[in-house]
Amino acid sequence: MLSNACKYAIRALIYLASRSKGDQKVSIREISAEVDSPLPFTAKIMQSLSKQGLVSSLKGPNGGFFLEAAQAEVALIEIVKAIDGLQMLHGCGLGLKSCSESHPCPIHAEFSLIREGFNKLLKEKTIRSLAIELQEGGSNLKSVFTQ
């Protein structure tokens, strides 16, 4: 449901929040490596988030990205809104323009339930709450492949 850019943005902000201690800044290279995102793509995403006020940055030798307390309390829905927009959270599961209760697509009822649950998650979960889970070892931000 989310674009790759949006997924990387959420992962990057969770990582930053998990590293937020005092005035510590995190480089774009570190963010990219820790969230398994291509460096140029990560840089573009982080610049966009910075322009929208969802992350802070400082240029220079001691610079990097960081989250202020209020930024860490942002709900995931705000990141989705900034990167992907909210249309995908309201549209048809099959992409039809005229899907509705009175004129449903073949997956309308089931997709409506999934969409409602996903919307609820995005509104309730904050960057900080997910960073705490990460710090406690209950989750990870990298793909883990086992053979």
The CA distance from 125 to 106, in Å, is 30
Q: Please list the residues that pair with 70 across neighbouring strands.
A: none
Q: Please list the residues that pair with 26 across neighbouring strands.
A: 65
Sequence spans of domains, the chain: 4-135
What pLDDT sits at residue 143? 63
CATH number of 4-135: 1.10.10.10
pLDDT category at 141 given cuts 50, 70, 90 is confident
Mean pLDDT for 68-94 is 91
Identify each DSSP E strand in the chain by its residue range.
56-58, 64-66
The CA distance from 50 to 7, in Å, is 16
Q: Please list the residues that pair with 65 across neighbouring strands.
A: 26, 57
With 70 as the cut, is the pLDDT of residue 128 above it? yes
H/E stretch holding 76: helix 76-83
The CA distance from 30 to 36, in Å, is 10
Residue with tokens 């969770």: 14
Residue with tokens 């990167």: 83
What pLDDT sits at residue 145? 47
Amino acid occupying residue 21: K
Amino acid occupying residue 75: A
pTM greater than 0.95 (yes/no): no
Taking only the tens place, the pLDDT of each residue in 12-48 is 999 999 887 666 899 999 999 999 999 999 999 999 9
